[in-house]
A and B are shown apart, each in its own frame.
Chain A
Amino acid sequence: MDLFLSIPFLIFLPMAASFFVMSPLFTGNEIAIRRFTKTVCGFHFLYALFMLMLFDGANPYTSKLSFFGLDWVQSLGISFSFRIDGIGMILVLLTSFIFFMAAISSKINIRKNAKFYYSMLLLLMSAILGIFTANDIFVFFLFWELELIPAYFLIGGDFTSETVPEAKKSAVKFVLFTFGGSMFMLLGILLMYYYSYMSTGILSASFGDIFINSAPKIIQAIISALLLIGFGVKLPIIPLHGWLPDAHTNAPTPVSMVLAGILLKTGAYGIYRFNYEILKDIFLVIAPILAVFAIVNIIYTAFVAYAQTDIKRIVAYSSISNMGLILLGLCTLTKLGLSASVFHMVAHGLVTAGLFMICGVVYLRYKTRDINALGGIAVTMPRLFGFGTLIVLASIGIPAFAPFISEILTIVSAMFSDMGILLKICSVCALPLLIVSSCYMLKFLHKSFMGKLELSDKINDISMHEFVVLGSITAGLIIFGVFPAVILNLIG
C-alpha cells in the first residue's frame, strides 16, 4: 500500500483531529473549532473519494499496523489489520459524506460546549470507520465498543440552545442496550475464535482466518444467534429496538443524522460480515426466520410511525422500518439481494439524514416538533418545502430517486431467491411497506408543510448552510437514483 492510500490514515485522521480539538493546545473559540472540523471532514471526504477512484474491485485495500514489529496482541493472534472491499468502500464514503454534512449542519444547532461536541463527533467518525474497515474480529469489536463513548456524549450532552431533559436518560438507554448486545456479541466472537483455533490450529482472529464450518452445528447456531442479538440491537431488529426512538428524538439534529444515517448500518454490516460471510452454513437455515423478523420490522414500525405525532419520531420509526428492508435483502442470500441491501444502506442513509435535517430546521424555527401544531411551512419557507418534498418523495420510493431502486431490487430478489416459500411470502408482505410508508411520510409532509399557518411569527427560510446540506443530500439521492450502477458495480 503506497503512502497516498493509507487506510490507517483514513481511520485515524478524525481520531487525531478529535484529540487535537480536545487538547488544551487548541483554541476554545467555537468558530475556529467548527471550521477546523469541517475542514477535516471535507478533506476526509475528498480523500475517500480519491480512494474510491483508484479502487479496484479485484484487489481490496488491505493494511496492517504493526507495533514494534509485532501484531497488536501477537500472543492472542489479534492484529490491527484493515481491509476495504467494495461494500466497505461504499460505506466508508457514506460515513465520510454524512459526517461532513453533520459537521456543516452543526453550525446552526450547536450552541454550547463546542470543543467537547466536535471532538466527540470526530471520535465517533473514527470509530465507525474502524467498524467498516476492520479485518479482525477483535478489532471490529474494539471499534464497536469505542463508538459507544462518543455516541453517548453526543446524545446525552448539553449542546443545543435549550436543554433536553430526557436526553441523558435516552443516552443511558442507548449505551446499556448496545453494551448489553455487544456482550452477547463478545461471547459469540470468543466462541468463534476458540472453535476456529480448534479446527485450524491458527492463532489468528482476522476475518480471513476464521473458519468454523467444522464446528458442531449447534455451536454454530449458538454463535450465530449470539451475534445476531448483538447486531440486532444496533440494526435494530424489532424486540431490541427500544433505545432507538428516544435516542434519535432527543439527540441534536446533526447527531440524529449520524445515528440514523450511519450508526444503524453498522448493525447490518456486522450481520453481513459475520453471519452472512463467516457463518454462511447456518445463515442458510436461519435466513427465513430472520426474514420474518425483517417483515415484522417493516410492517409493525410502519404502523407505529403512522401513529406518531412528533416529526422526529416518525423519521426514527421509519428508519427501523427501512432497516427491516435491508435485513430482508441480506436474508435472500443472493448477490442481487446483497446489492440491494447495500444500496438501500446508502439510499436510506441519505434519505434519513435529509429527513432529520428537515426536522431540525423546522424545530429550530418553530420550537415544536408536534405535527398537529405545525402547518403551513410551505408558505413561510418555500425552499425548505422544495427540498422536503423531494426527500419525502424519495423516501416513499418514487422512481428517479435512489430508494426506489433498492426497494424494488430487494423485493425482486426476495421473490426469486431459492430460500423457500417463506421468503416469497415475506417479499409479498413487504410490498405494503411502500403503501404504509407513503402514508406516514405523506402525512408528515402534508401536516407540517401544507395546511393553515399556525404560527405567524416572522420565519426565515433556510440559510446557506442548510441549503448546502439539503442540496447535497438531494443531489446524492438523484445521482444514485439515475445511475445506480455507480454503487452496484462496486458491489460486483
Chain B
Amino acid sequence: MINDFFNILLPQGCLAVFILIQLLLGMFVSPRAYKYSRLISAIGISASIVLLSTVQIEPQYFGLRNAVMSDSYTLLFDFIILLCGFFVVLLTKNLITQRRQNAYTFNALLLTAIFGAINTVSANDFLTLFISIELLSFPTYFLIASNKGYYSKEASFKYLITSAVSTGVFLFGVSYLYGLTSSINLTEIYEFVAQHEPSLLCSFAGIMIILGLISKLSVFPFANWIIDVFKGTETSVLAFLSTIPKLAMFGIICRLLVFPLSNSFELVCTIAVLTVITALWANTYAIKEKNVKCILACSSAANASYALLTACLVSVYNLSAVIFYLICYVIMNLVVFAFLNITEGNGIGNQVEDFKGLFRKNHGTVISYVIGILGLAGFPIMSGFVAKIYLFSAIANSGLIFIPILLVLMLLTVIALYYYLKIILPLFDECDKNFAVKILKAAYSQKFVLFICTAVTMLIGIYPEKLIEICRFIAYNI
C-alpha cells in the first residue's frame, strides 16, 4: 500500500493535502486574506505537476489492489488536466474578488474537482471510477452556482440533475457488466471479454456505461444542459468546465473503448448515431444564438462529438488523433475563455453586440481571441487546422461507410464557421465617434493565460510534429 502511494499516488496525495490546507485556512484565516487562496491552489497544482515525475509508468503499474493504474497515457492526461487546472486557477481572480468570503472554500472545491478528474483517468475499476466521477461532479455543482444571479442557480441545478441521471445510467451498465463477469475490475473484465464471444448483453452494458460517461461531454441524449449551464456560469468556471471534465471523460472513455468494450459493433453504431445527432443539433442551434457563451457551448458540444466519433472507431491512429485534438482543443478553449474572463471583468456583457469595436483599442488581446476562435474553426497556422486534418483523416481511414458521416460533419463545420464568424465580427466593427470603446484592463495572471495559450496554439500549428509523435507513442503503448 505504501509502495503504491509512493509509486503512483504522490500527485493525488499532494492535491489532497492542499485541499485540506485550503479548508483549514478557510476556517481560521480572516476573509481579508482571500488573495492567498489562489496562490495556495497554484502552488498545490504546481507541486502536483512536479510530483508527476515520480509516477511509475514503465511498465504499467497497478496499485491499491488493481483499483488504480498508471502508464504513459494516464500520465499525459494527468499532466494536461493539472496544467488546465493551473490556468483555471489563474483565471479565477474576478470570481475570488467577488466572493472573498468563500475564497478558500471555492479553491478547495476546485482542487477537489481536479483531484477527481485525475483519479477518473487512472481508475482501473468501476468503483474507483464512480467515486472519482462523483468527486469531479459534486464540487462542480457548487462551482457553477458560485456566480451571481438567477441563471447560475438554474445552471447548477440542471447540471446536478443531468449528472445524477447519467450516473444512474452508468451504474446500471456497471451492474449488468458485473452480472456478466462478476467483476468490477477493468483488467478482469477485459480478460473475460477477450475470452468470450461478444454478446448483445455485454454490448448493452457497454452502451449504458458510455452513455453515463458522455453526459459530461454533452453528447445527446444528455446534451442540452450545456447551453443553460454555460449561460449562467462565470467564465473562469467555464474555462474549467470546458476543459477538465472533458479531458477526464475522454481519458476514461478512450481507455474503456480500447480495453473492455472494444469490438462491439452495436456500441460503435450507437455512438456514431449519437455523435451525429449532437453535431447536427449543436451546430444548428448555435445559428440563431446571440449569446457568446451559448455559442461556445454549442461549439463545445460539437467538437466533443467529433472527437467522440473518432474515439469510438478504435485504432491506434484514431486514438492518437483524438489525444492530439483534445490537447489542441483545450488550449484554444483556454484562450477563448481567458479573453471572455477579461471582458467580463471589465463589465462587458455576453451578447455578441457587446463586443463591438473592441479591436480598435485592444489589439493584442483581441488578436489572441481571434486566433483562438479561428483555431476552433480549424484555420491554418493555428493548431486547430492540424487537429482537424488529423481527426478527419482518422475518420476517413476507418472505412468507407464513415465517409458520408464525415461529409456531414465537415459540412457542419461550415455552419460552425458561420457562428464563429458571428462572434468575432463585431470586434472589428467601426463604431461612431461618440461610442466609447473600452480599453480592457486585465490582471497579469489573465494576460499570462491568454498569451501563453495563444502562443502554444500557434506553436503547435506551426510545428505539430513533436506533439503528434508523443500522441502516437502514447496511443501505441496503451
Chain A positions within 8 Å of B, measured between CB atoms, are 24, 67, 70-76, 112, 138, 141-143, 145-146, 148-149, 152-153, 156-158, 163, 168, 172, 175-176, 179-180, 183-184, 186-187, 190-191, 193-194
B418 touches A172 (CB 8 A): yes
B-side contacts of A172, CB under 8 Å? 418, 421, 425
Given A148-B379, A149-B374, A194 and B414 contact (CB-CB distance below 8 Å)? no
Cα A1 to Cα B466 with chains together (Å): 27
B-side contacts of A70, CB under 8 Å? 465
Task: Kindly list the 5 A-B residue pairs having the minimum CB-CB distance in the complex, ordered from nearest.
Answer: A183-B410, A190-B396, A180-B414, A142-B380, A158-B430
A-B contact pairs, 17 of them (CB 8 A): A24-B364, A73-B386, A73-B468, A74-B469, A142-B385, A148-B379, A158-B428, A163-B430, A168-B425, A172-B418, A180-B414, A183-B411, A183-B414, A187-B396, A191-B403, A193-B393, A194-B396
B428 touches A157 (CB 8 A): yes
In-complex Cβ contact of B379 among A24, A145, A187 (8 A): A145
Residue B98 CB within 8 A of the other chain: no
Residue B440 CB within 8 A of the other chain: no
A-side contacts of B393, CB under 8 Å? 76, 190, 193-194
Residue B57 CB within 8 A of the other chain: no
In-complex Cβ contact of B380 among A73, A75, A146, A156 (8 A): A146
Residue B161 CB within 8 A of the other chain: no
A447 CB to closest chain B CB (Å) equals: 34
Size bracket of the B interface: 20 to 34
Residue B318 CB within 8 A of the other chain: no
B-side contacts of A176, CB under 8 Å? 414, 417-418
B-side contacts of A163, CB under 8 Å? 430
B422 CB to closest chain A CB (Å) equals: 9
Cα A255 to Cα B60 with chains together (Å): 59
B403 touches A138 (CB 8 A): no
Given A146-B381, A148-B379, A183 and B396 contact (CB-CB distance below 8 Å)? no
Binary contact track B372-385/A, C-beta < 8 Å → 1, others 0: 00100011110001
A-side contacts of B418, CB under 8 Å? 172, 176
Cα A47 to Cα B83 with chains together (Å): 47
B388 CB to closest chain A CB (Å) equals: 8
Cα A153 to Cα B370 with chains together (Å): 12
A-side contacts of B390, CB under 8 Å? 76
Additional A-B contact list (5), CB under 8 Å, known A74-B469, A183-B410, A186-B392: A70-B465, A73-B386, A75-B465, A138-B389, A158-B428
A64 CB to closest chain B CB (Å) equals: 14
In-complex Cβ contact of A67 among B392, B413, B428, B465 (8 A): B465
Given A179-B414, A187-B403, A187-B410, A72 and B465 contact (CB-CB distance below 8 Å)? yes
B406 touches A153 (CB 8 A): no
A24 touches B363 (CB 8 A): yes
In-complex Cβ contact of A183 among B364, B374, B413 (8 A): B413
B-side contacts of A145, CB under 8 Å? 378-380, 385
A219 CB to closest chain B CB (Å) equals: 8
B-side contacts of A75, CB under 8 Å? 465, 468-469, 472
Residue B36 CB within 8 A of the other chain: no
Chain A residue nearest in CB terms to B413: A183
B-side contacts of A153, CB under 8 Å? 428
A194 touches B397 (CB 8 A): yes
Interface of A is mostly: helix
A14 CB to closest chain B CB (Å) equals: 14
Chain B positions within 8 Å of A, measured between CB atoms, are 363-364, 374, 378-381, 385-386, 389-390, 392-393, 396-397, 403, 406-407, 410-411, 413-414, 417-418, 421, 425, 428, 430, 463-465, 468-469, 472
A-side contacts of B407, CB under 8 Å? 183-184, 187
B464 touches A179 (CB 8 A): no
Chain A residue nearest in CB terms to B360: A113
A-side contacts of B413, CB under 8 Å? 179, 183
A-side contacts of B396, CB under 8 Å? 187, 190-191, 194
A-side contacts of B472, CB under 8 Å? 75
Chain B residue nearest in CB terms to A127: B380
A-side contacts of B428, CB under 8 Å? 153, 157-158
A175 touches B417 (CB 8 A): yes
Cα A199 to Cα B403 with chains together (Å): 19
B383 CB to closest chain A CB (Å) equals: 12
B392 touches A190 (CB 8 A): yes
B-side contacts of A71, CB under 8 Å? 465
A394 CB to closest chain B CB (Å) equals: 37
B-side contacts of A158, CB under 8 Å? 428, 430
A401 CB to closest chain B CB (Å) equals: 38
Cα A42 to Cα B224 with chains together (Å): 55
A187 touches B430 (CB 8 A): no
Cα A141 to Cα B388 with chains together (Å): 12
Chain A residue nearest in CB terms to B473: A75
Cα A71 to Cα B469 with chains together (Å): 12
B461 CB to closest chain A CB (Å) equals: 10
Chain B residue nearest in CB terms to A157: B428
Cα A180 to Cα B385 with chains together (Å): 15
A-side contacts of B463, CB under 8 Å? 67, 72
B-side contacts of A142, CB under 8 Å? 380, 385
B412 CB to closest chain A CB (Å) equals: 9
Cα A143 to Cα B380 with chains together (Å): 8
Cα A168 to Cα B425 with chains together (Å): 9
Cα A180 to Cα B469 with chains together (Å): 30
A398 CB to closest chain B CB (Å) equals: 42
B-side contacts of A168, CB under 8 Å? 425
Cα A76 to Cα B380 with chains together (Å): 17
B465 CB to closest chain A CB (Å) equals: 5
Cα A175 to Cα B377 with chains together (Å): 12
B386 touches A187 (CB 8 A): no
A-side contacts of B417, CB under 8 Å? 175-176, 179
Cα A146 to Cα B364 with chains together (Å): 20
A-side contacts of B421, CB under 8 Å? 152, 172, 175
Chain A residue nearest in CB terms to B411: A183
Cα A138 to Cα B390 with chains together (Å): 11
A-side contacts of B385, CB under 8 Å? 142, 145
Chain A residue nearest in CB terms to B390: A76
- Residue of B389, B411, B421, B469 with most partner-chain A CB within 10 A: B389
- Residue of A24, A73, A143, A183 with most partner-chain B CB within 10 A: A183
Chain A residue nearest in CB terms to B381: A146
A-side contacts of B378, CB under 8 Å? 145
A-side contacts of B464, CB under 8 Å? 72-73
B467 CB to closest chain A CB (Å) equals: 10
Cα A184 to Cα B390 with chains together (Å): 16
Cα A313 to Cα B76 with chains together (Å): 56
A146 touches B468 (CB 8 A): no
B379 touches A73 (CB 8 A): no
B406 touches A187 (CB 8 A): yes
B433 CB to closest chain A CB (Å) equals: 13
B-side contacts of A74, CB under 8 Å? 465, 469
Chain A residue nearest in CB terms to B469: A75
- Residue of A146, A157, A190 with most partner-chain B CB within 10 A: A190
Cα A458 to Cα B445 with chains together (Å): 59
B340 CB to closest chain A CB (Å) equals: 21
Chain B residue nearest in CB terms to A143: B380
B-side contacts of A67, CB under 8 Å? 463, 465
Cα A183 to Cα B414 with chains together (Å): 8
B411 touches A180 (CB 8 A): yes
Chain A residue nearest in CB terms to B421: A172
